[in-house]
Structure 1
Amino acid sequence: MSLFIFLKVLAICLVGAMSPGPSMVVVINNAIFKNRYHGIITSIGHGIGISIYAVFAVIGIGMVIKTNLILFNSIKIVSIIFLIYMGVKSIFNKEDIDFENKNIMGGTKSFFQGFAISILNPKILIWFIAIYSQFMSEKNAFLFNAYLVITAGIVDSVWYMFLTVLTTSSVSLNFVKKNHYVLNKITGYIFILIGMALFVDIYF
């Protein structure tokens, strides 16, 4: 593998990770309204979900899912339900925020949220099929395919970890302390709007 290909894959994965969407909202929401630890755990869960879709794209399962409209839309519907659930929960959440980062337990739920928001977004799979197709060949070595998968997961996790650190800085937290109830409701409505947009995408 040439240095050019190495850097090209790295850049493509970074651009994909940086694209705004429901994943970014989930990670930032957990980082701000729980704490930095939960944001990092959410990032790791999201990266693992991304890696699974990268595997599907590399070995060809992704094409089967993409061409099966019922399966594809079923994944979308589950994603819609999950997003609306997250939105309603966020809007009516009255719990205090752990600004002191004392609560570093219970990361399983945050991990699952990160994993779910990535694995329930079939558009990520389409993106991988479209982007990785230029690198796919019957002559591809196992190590190169492994690089495609591992890079996708690591770059994604690292990007969201960076966002977590950025949004939990002292300046950001001071702002959140003063406005966290309003921000909670705003993120909740964003989740619901994204879910409704996915619904419109399927049925209209």
Structure 2
Amino acid sequence: MPKLSDFAAVIFDMDGLVLDTEATYRKAWQNAASTMGYSFSDEFCESLSGLSGENGLAKIITIFGADFNATEFNTLSNQSWCDWVSKHGMAVKSGFQPLLAAIIAHNIPYCLATNSRGKDARECLAYAGLSDTFATILSRDDVNHGKPAPDIFLKAAERLQVNISDCLVLEDSYTGVIAADKAGAYVVGVPSVWPMDERMRLHSALIVNDLTELLESFNA
């Protein structure tokens, strides 16, 4: 197990890794689908975890057919999501703040690399009180292909001026870990859904329950 100081940079995913967004998205998707006369199970929503917006919609249309109104779904789900987080805020995942403090103490560069659009990512961070946390944010807007393509992690390493092979990437989904593995990073999977997708083990150097456990493993 490498030490934290062995890495040239740390790249964080956002949804389900830094922020506890998964439950809020699931609720919004299910509310929108219900209004439109469809039913999205928890399992189906979990299968969308980590996908970019366009890939998620493509999967929905594959399952529910070409008549599915993607524009209406986006409008309804966005409104439902905004109503929820406006009332309840956005929770930060356990262990993020102590891990970030350790990264800063070691003077290690870090950034956010998310499949969300830039505007949406910044909105989520603002709801969580983390607007000023990441000086460098890579979003779906910055690459031609979102995860599971490796593009965003390669771009992140380029932006931080380090080799991707020297980077620690933290991801919560199968989509994310496979993208980071393709890029050539050292990948740690921190599943946001349990039981986890066992395929994550094939593309992760390490699987931990949460970021607190990861920090403890570095300090062991």
TM-score, normalising length: structure 1: 0.27
Larger fraction in helix: 1
Which one has the bigger strand percentage?
A: 2
Look at both structures and tell me which one has the larger radius of gyration over its CA atoms.
Answer: 1
When normalised by structure 2's length, the TM-score is 0.26
Structure with the greater relative contact order (CA < 8 A, sep ≥ 6): 1 or 2? Answer: 1
